[in-house]
Amino acid sequence: MTDPVLALDGVTKSFGPIEILHGVDFALRPGEVHALIGENGAGKSTTMKILAGYLDPTGGQVKLDGKPIGFSGSDQAEDLGVIMIHQEFNLAEHLSVDQNVFLGRELTKGWRLDHKSMRQRTADLLKRLHCKVDPGARVSGISVPDKQMVEIAKALSRKARVLIMDEPTAVLTERETEILFEQVERLRAEGVAILYTSHKLGEVKRIADRVTVLRDGTMVRSDLTADVTEDDMAAAMVGRELSDLFPPKLTGSDEPILTARNITVPGIVDDASLTLHKGEVLGIGGLVGSGRTELAEAIAGLRPRSGTVTLMDRDLPAGDVAQAMKAGLAYLTEDRKGAGLLLDKSLRENLTLPLLETFGSPLIERKREDAALDRAIEDFAIRAPARDMAVGDLSGGNQQKLLLAKTLLSNPQVVIIDEPTRGIDIGTKQQIYTLIAKLAAEGRSIIVISSEMPELIGLASRVVVMHAGRIAGELAGADVTEGGIVRLAMGMDGTSKDSAA
Amino acid sequence: MSTLRNMRQNLPVIAPIVALVVLILIGIALNPNFLSYANITNVLARSAFIGIIAIGMTFVITAGGLDLSVGSMAAFVAGLMILVMNLLTDSMGQGLPVILIGIALALGVGILAGFINGILITRAGIEAFILTLGTMGIYRSLVTWLADGGTLSLGYEMREMYRPVYYGGIMGISWPIIVFAALAILGEITMRHTAFGRHCAAIGSNEKVARYSSVSVTRVKLATYVLLGLLVGIAVVMYVPRLGSASATTGLLWELEAIAAVIIGGTLLKGGFGRVWGTVVGVLILSLIGNLLNLTDVVSPYLNGAIQGVVIILAVVLQRNTGTAR
């Protein structure tokens, strides 16, 4: 076994009087992919930030090449080849791809910037990553997976010895994940030590050589991946055996409740139609960028569209989200932080925002708001250290539960949930799955949009798959399989009416 | 320990009040006349114009907007009001109807001007800073043109008849102070306890989240500019009887004083959080600084702007690193 390049030795970390890491030690070795897993709030992010020099340990040591080191900051760590890619990207949106890759270390010719070589080097790096983005494109205009690739290109350009990735696959589809993993494998072959976190245990099993489990700031176990099963990992994370992740599926009635006909969003969604039945969980699959989210937003009145949407025999006007909500349709966004919650506001203010008028007019009754929050905290098992804290300080799982509570506040008959469990831990995932099943059992009708195949397969009795803005096909019952969804999502199904036309 | 931490967390909250109290204590120490009835009412009545405008500005800024045109708008509305009242006096003779029409005109034009700003910002999507920079120039130039480069003055008799709106009052409190206080209370309640106030904060905090939460973003933003226009109209109604005239220099820099008062009061310049009571404290701080310098000869009154500038900068420094939910 090779010597570790970067190691933690009995590291503890306290914020104020509260210790949140209790003696973590593990080592990253060259040419090894190390997965760090744990529930939200288990201390993964803190551990990574200590490794990458963003935080100082309170106790214990960080060792680089066997020698104790105190990084003066992430800059020094980066100079020494320890690079972290954050979940929320560190890219300057208004600059071009190549300007981002060389940001802070621009190549110069004399006193002038050497634009040509920077563009060329960026193009080479992106080519290595099989990424088709134009180095001159503005970052604000490229897709999320492409941004991920730009971050990796940036890391590669710095000759990374240790690459730390915080949930890199959370925003990627399975195909993009494959491309990322090819790169990870290539970097591993080149002797880079890689640490990454993920909530997707299947991925961990597939790509990681070694897996370390954190729970409540303590290292629970660290094994070679070959020696543990996914169930072992899940059990170690949660501290208990996880019974079946998905509740039993219900098949809805035949009575249509929501019909969308010939929905077109110019340039994104092309003539898509679908029907949702009462009490049904309908899945929408497809790659990121296939128009899933845009279709849902068009139905919910958040985007201009053509075509008709009928909810319980009522036509919903286009582009009017308030009308859609009144009629009994609610949409839960995939962009929790950007479009779902006001991060610097309290739980109460977030919860009641869509329906403020019903909490008293002209003056809002604080007591009724507080009562609603009490109910939400109980019904959705939201764990918040303080009621008046900013929502941005809650863990991702609790944010998602609050967003669900907010979306369901209007007591909608139809709920569209876009990426119900993005970036949240397995315990919370299970809670949310149970909740979705409960909503359907109550007679509500639900559309679930997801990039995670097991989620679609586990929840939905019927799945509509989109490809390039069109409905590529529909699967029901026993036909809802990973293979079937992927074939449709990639536009490979020859029987699809689109290709026949 | 917890009280100490609480205090540190609350520093941005209480800082404007502390500053106001310190100013008042300095005032008392330096000049016994400071707390006199005459001085206090004088300071308050002069603060009222900017104060009334600043209340509206609080809503605009909280919702993530800005309005640089209010000072010029006030001058234009005042000029137009005087011009029309003089014309009406010629045809209708002197009397209450002329004053009432003048007041209605000021309020109406204020609302219209606010509506124009708001509709161009929300529907045409023009950056608030740029648009109101433009309308600021337009109104300033219009009032100069109306006054033909000079001063528009209300006829002598009408001025005498209108005077009590500024100089009169009930129980020794003049009308501008009463109106300012009433609007401040109303504004604070609207900001804190109504859906409109909460929607302003939500939009300023994250417009996309507000839109996805079925808040009618354009309507609320438009309403903040219309409200501000109306308040400019009210301020003009109180201002015209004071001097009975308007010129190219009327309301000069009022927009900056109003914005400064809003920021000193703890409202975030980038939007998302606003408080009307803070704005009132901010207005008082700014006018007390001027008043103090006039009353004492420790520091030259010419340094008024410098001291106000320091206060504004300090207020913004204090606004940083506030972590808890608001």
Q: What is the CATH number of the domain that holds A233?
A: 3.40.50.300
Lowest mean pLDDT across A6-20, A21-35, B90-104 = A6-20
Is B215 in Cβ contact with A354 (below 8 Å)?
A: yes
Examine the domain organization and report whether A316 and A397 are in the same domain.
no
Is A344 in Cβ contact with B215 (below 8 Å)?
A: no
pLDDT tens sequence across B73-94: 999 999 999 999 999 988 888 8
Q: Following CA atoms A484, A487, A488, A493 in sequence, which dihedral angle do they give, to the nearest 10 degrees?
A: -110
Tell me which residue in B194, B211, B214 faces A364 most closely, judged by beta carbons.
B194
pLDDT tens sequence across B228-238: 999 999 999 99
| Residues counted in chain B | 326
Q: List the domain range (segments joined by +) for residue A356.
A: 336-411
pLDDT tens sequence across B216-273: 999 999 999 999 999 999 999 999 998 889 998 998 889 999 999 999 998 988 899 9
Average pLDDT of the segment spanning A269-296:
90
A434 part of a folded domain = no
Structure tokens at A481: 């399989």
| Percent of residues, chain A, with pLDDT higher than 90 | 29
What pLDDT band is residue B32 in, cutting at 50, 70 and 90? confident
Q: Report the helix count and the strand count for chain A, using DSSP H and E.
A: 17, 22
Instruction: Please give the pLDDT value at position B181.
Output: 95
**Closest residue by Cα to residue A268 from A288, A307, A294:** A294
Examine the domain organization and report whether A259 and A222 are in the same domain.
no
Is A345 in Cβ contact with B202 (below 8 Å)?
A: yes
Examine the domain organization and report whether A107 and A194 are in the same domain.
yes
Q: Which of A211, A238, A265 is the last residue of a domain?
A: A238
Instruction: List residues bridging with A9 in a β-sheet.
Output: A61
Other beta carbons within 10 Å of A202:
12
What is the chain B residue with the closest CA to A329?
B214
> Smallest CA–CA separation between A344 and chain B, in Å?
5
What is the chain A residue with the closest CA to B213?
A354
**Which residue do the tokens 């210790």 mark?**
A19
Name, in order, each residue with C-beta under 8 angstroms of A218's C-beta and a sequence gap of 6 or more.
Answer: A22, A23, A24
- Look up residue B62 and give its amino acid: T
Phi/psi region, residue B80 (left: phi>0; alpha: psi -120 to 50; beta: rest), is: alpha
- Look up residue A341 and give its amino acid: L
Name, in order, each residue with C-beta under 8 angstroms of A228's C-beta and a sequence gap of 6 or more.
Answer: A211, A221
Average pLDDT of the segment spanning B30-55:
89
Phi/psi region, residue B176 (left: phi>0; alpha: psi -120 to 50; beta: rest), is: alpha
Examine the domain organization and report whether A19 and A168 are in the same domain.
yes
* Cβ contact B57:B258 at 8 Å: yes
Examine the domain organization and report whether A100 and A167 are in the same domain.
yes
Examine the domain organization and report whether A134 and A99 are in the same domain.
yes
Q: What secondary structure letter does DSSP report for A216?
A: T
Domains of chain A: total = 3
**Closest residue by Cα to residue A275 from A285, A284, A264, A267:** A284
What is the per-residue DSSP string for A265-290?
Answer: ETTTEEEEEEEEETT-EEEEE--TTS
Examine the domain organization and report whether A222 and A251 are in the same domain.
no
Q: Which of A186, A216, A238 is the last residue of a domain?
A: A238
A95 part of a folded domain = yes
A438 part of a folded domain = no
Instruction: List residues bridging with A265 in a β-sheet.
Output: A269
Instruction: Please give the pLDDT value at position B9.
Output: 53
Helix, coil or strand: residue A79: helix
Rounded to whole angstroms, how far apart are CA atoms A60 and A62? 7
Q: Which of A222, A238, A254 is the last residue of a domain?
A: A238
A112 part of a folded domain = yes
**Closest residue by Cα to residue A249 from A500, A471, A460:** A460
A175 part of a folded domain = yes
Burial A256-294 (b: 16+ CB within 10 A, else e): bbbbbeebbbeebbbebebbbbbbbbbbbbbbbbbbbbb
Q: Residue A465 belongs to what H/E stretch?
A: strand A462-467
What is the per-residue DSSP string for B141-167?
Answer: HHHHHHTTTSEEE--HHHHHHHTHHHH
> Smallest CA–CA separation between B128 and chain A, in Å?
21
Examine the domain organization and report whether A340 and A205 are in the same domain.
no
* Cβ contact A162:A81 at 8 Å: yes
A439 part of a folded domain = no
Name, in order, each residue with C-beta under 8 angstroms of B123's C-beta and a sequence gap of 6 or more.
Answer: B218
Helix, coil or strand: residue B104: helix
Examine the domain organization and report whether A70 and A196 are in the same domain.
yes
Interface of A to B at Cβ within 8 Å reads 302, 321-322, 324-325, 331, 333, 335, 338-346, 349, 353-354, 356-357, 361-364, 388-391, 393, 406
Examine the domain organization and report whether A208 and A94 are in the same domain.
yes
What fold is seen in the domain B35-319?
A: ABC transporter involved in vitamin B12 uptake, BtuC (1.10.3470)
Structure tokens at A64: 């680089």
What is the chain B residue with the closest CA to A350?
B202
Examine the domain organization and report whether A316 and A452 are in the same domain.
yes
Is A343 in Cβ contact with B215 (below 8 Å)?
A: no
Name, in order, each residue with C-beta under 8 angstroms of A391's C-beta and a sequence gap of 6 or more.
Answer: A341, A342, A343, A344, A345, A346, A347, A350, A399, A402, B325
A436 part of a folded domain = no
What pLDDT band is residue A228 in, cutting at 50, 70 and 90? confident
| Residues counted in chain A | 501
* Cβ contact A310:A304 at 8 Å: no
ipTM of the prediction: 0.84
A274 part of a folded domain = yes
Rounded to whole angstroms, how far apart are CA atoms B39 and B258? 22
Instruction: Please give the pLDDT value at position A416.
Output: 95
Examine the domain organization and report whether A73 and A157 are in the same domain.
yes
